[in-house]
Amino acid sequence: EASSAPTAWWPEVFRIGVGVGLGVGVGLGLGVGLGLGLGVGLGVGLGLGLGLGLGVGLGLGLLSPAR
């Protein structure tokens, strides 16, 4: 009894630590993943939009008769 009482709180602390670690890890992972995904998505969208806009604009400008 006397030897098991002091060590009884270790599993609880370990469990809480693992839970907090997992929560923080998952939260950070999701946050970073979403941030990177949004950043890459915005970058690709802007790049495609600019590229298409410039390409179409140049093509129309070259094809249309100069006034």
3-state secondary structure 17-66: HHHHHHHHHHHHHHHHHHHHHHHHHHHHHHHHHHHHHHHHHHHHHHHCCC
pLDDT at 9: 82
Any idea where the domains of the chain sit in the sequence?
A: 1-62
Task: Please give the average pLDDT of every successive group of 10 residues along the chain, which has 67 residues.
Answer: 64 93 95 93 94 93 76
User: Phi then psi for 65, rounded to 5 degrees?
Assistant: -60, 135
pLDDT at 7: 66
pLDDT at 64: 78
Q: What is the CA angle 36-42-43, rounded to 5?
A: 85
Q: Judge if pTM exceeds 0.85.
A: no
pLDDT at 23: 96
The two tokens of residue 3 are 């030897």
pLDDT at 36: 93
